C-alpha cells in the first residue's frame, strides 16, 4: 500500500503527509530538490519521491527523533546535525520505531504492518550546521540551529518563499521535557537567536498538528520562556509521550486565537 499523499504549499514547496501524524517537506528548485525530514521509515518513501520529483535530491534532517529521521536509510545524500547523531542511533533503531508506532499517540493505519518498516540507516551522515545554505537553483534552504526539543534541533529558512519551517523547534506544543532536551534558559537564548531572522519570513510551517502557525507563535513562546524563568507560568501538570511534565500555559480559557504556542517542560531543567 502507499502510505503517502502530498499537497502543494507553494509552487516550490510540497507537503508530504506520512503516517502517524507527521509530515515532511520537499523543496524544488531549477537545479535540484531538498527533502526536509523522512518520517518514521514506514513504506517506500523513495519510490514516492521519485514519482513526484525527478531532480537530484539531498535530504536534510531537522533532528534525530525517529518520526523525522526514521526513513533516511533509503537515501544516499543525507545531512544531520552532529549533536543528534547519538540520539538518532538509539531513536531510529528498527525495534524502537516499531515500539513508538504501537505505543504512540497516533494510531497506525489499519493496513499497517511491521514488515513495511525499512531497516535502520548504516551509512554515515553528512554534517548539517548553522549558516549552511543549500542552493538548488533560484531557491535555497538556510540552516538555523535552535536547540531545545533536542540538542541538534534545526529550523529551515527559505528566504525566496519568505517561509521558515520551524518543525518541532517551536510550536503549538513545544516538547522540552525529554532527556535530550535543553534547559528552558538555553532554549530561550536560542529562540532569541531565531528571532533575529524574523524579517526573512512571513510564514511558519510545522511537522505536526495543523502544520502551520501564525508568525506570533515565535514571540509567544519567547514570552512563555520568560514566564517559566520568572516562575510566573501556569505550571499545569501534564503527561506527553508517557513522561510527566509541566505545561506552561493554561489552554482551557477563552483565549484569543493569536495566543498560540505552549511549552511542556521538566521543572528540574529550567536553568
Sheet holding 263-265, edge to edge: 174-176, 263-265, 243-247, 236-240
Distance between CA atoms of residues 80 and 177, nearest Å:
22
Strand partners, 134: 141
Task: Please report the pLDDT score of residue 108 as a whole number.
Answer: 84
Distance between CA atoms of residues 148 and 100, nearest Å:
21
Pairing of strands 78-80, 126-127: parallel
Q: Which residue, among 129, 261, 142, has the nearest Cα to 197 in the 3D structure?
A: 142
Please list, residue by residue across 194-217, b when 16 or more beta carbons sit within 10 angstroms of its beta carbon and e when fewer do: beeeeeebebbbbbbeebebeeeb
Distance between CA atoms of residues 49 and 71, nearest Å:
12
The three-state secondary structure class of 89 is: helix
Distance between CA atoms of residues 208 and 175, nearest Å:
12
Place of cell 502507499: 2
Distance between CA atoms of residues 221 and 208, nearest Å:
17
- 3-state DSSP helix/strand/coil % of the chain, to nearest 5: 25, 25, 50
Task: Please report the pLDDT score of residue 19 as a whole number.
Answer: 85
Task: Please report the pLDDT score of residue 101 as a whole number.
Answer: 92
Q: Which residue, among 138, 154, 124, 145, has the nearest Cα to 61 in the 3D structure?
A: 154
Task: Please report the pLDDT score of residue 258 as a whole number.
Answer: 63
Task: Please report the pLDDT score of residue 85 as a whole number.
Answer: 98
Predicted TM-score (pTM) of the model is: 0.96
The CATH code for residues 5-265 is: 3.60.15.30
Taken in order 103, 105, 107, 112, is the CA torsion positive or negative? negative
Task: Please report the pLDDT score of residue 257 as a whole number.
Answer: 54
Helix count (H) and strand count (E) of the chain? Answer: 6, 17
Whether 151 and 80 have beta carbons less than 8 Å apart is answered as: no
Place of cell 501538570: 237
Q: Is residue 21 classed exposed, middle or buried when 0-12, 13-18 and 19+ CB atoms within 10 A define those classes?
A: middle
Task: Please report the pLDDT score of residue 208 as a whole number.
Answer: 95
Ordered mean pLDDT values, 10 residues apiece, the chain (271 residues)? 92 95 97 98 96 97 98 97 98 96 84 93 97 98 98 98 98 97 98 98 96 97 98 96 94 69 97 95
Distance between CA atoms of residues 39 and 21, nearest Å:
10
Amino acid at each position: 500500500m502507499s502510505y503517502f499523499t502530498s499537497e502543494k504549499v507553494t509552487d516550490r514547496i510540497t507537503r508530504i503527509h506520512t503516517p502517524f501524524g507527521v509530515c515532511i517537506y520537499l523543496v524544488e528548485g531549477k537545479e535540484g530538490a531538498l527533502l526536509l525530514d523522512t518520517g518514521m521509515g514506514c513504506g517506500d518513501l523513495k519510490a514516492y519521491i521519485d514519482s513526484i520529483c525527478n531532480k537530484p535530491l539531498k535530504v536534510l534532517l531537522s533532528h534525530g527523533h525517529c518520526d523525522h529521521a526514521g526513513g533516511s536509510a533509503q537515501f544516499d545524500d543525507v545531512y544531520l546535525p552532529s549533536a543528534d547523531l547519538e540520539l538518532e542511533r538509539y531513536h531510529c533503531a528498527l525495534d524502537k520505531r516499531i515500539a513508538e508506532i504501537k505505543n504512540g499517540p497516533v494510531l497506525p493505519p489499519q493496513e499497517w504492518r511491521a514488515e513495511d518498516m525499512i531497516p535502520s540507516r548504516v551509512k554515515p551522515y553528512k554534517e548539517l550546521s548553522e549558516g549552511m545554505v543549500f542552493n538548488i537553483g533560484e531557491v535555497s534552504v538556510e540552516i538555523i540551529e535552535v536547540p531545545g526539543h533536542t540538542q541538534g534541533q534545526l529550523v529551515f529558512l527559505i528566504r525566496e518563499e519568505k517561509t521558515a519551517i520551524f518543525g518541532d523547534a517551536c510550536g503549538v506544543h513545544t516538547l522540552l521535557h525529554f532527556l535530550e532536551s535543553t534547559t528552558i534558559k538555553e532554549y530561550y537564548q536560542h529562540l532569541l537567536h531565531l528571532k533575529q531572522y524574523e524579517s526573512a519570513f512571513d510564514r511558519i510551517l510545522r511537522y505536526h498538528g495543523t502544520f502551520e502557525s501564525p508568525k506570533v507563535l515565535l514571540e509567544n513562546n519567547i514570552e512563555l520562556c520568560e514566564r517559566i524563568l520568572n516562575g510566573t507560568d501556569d505550571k499545569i501538570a501534564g503527561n506527553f509521550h508517557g513522561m510527566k511534565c509541566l505545561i506552561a500555559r493554561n489552554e482551557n480559557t477563552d483565549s484569543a486565537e493569536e495566543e498560540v504556542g505552549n511549552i511542556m517542560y521538566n521543572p528540574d531543567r529550567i536553568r
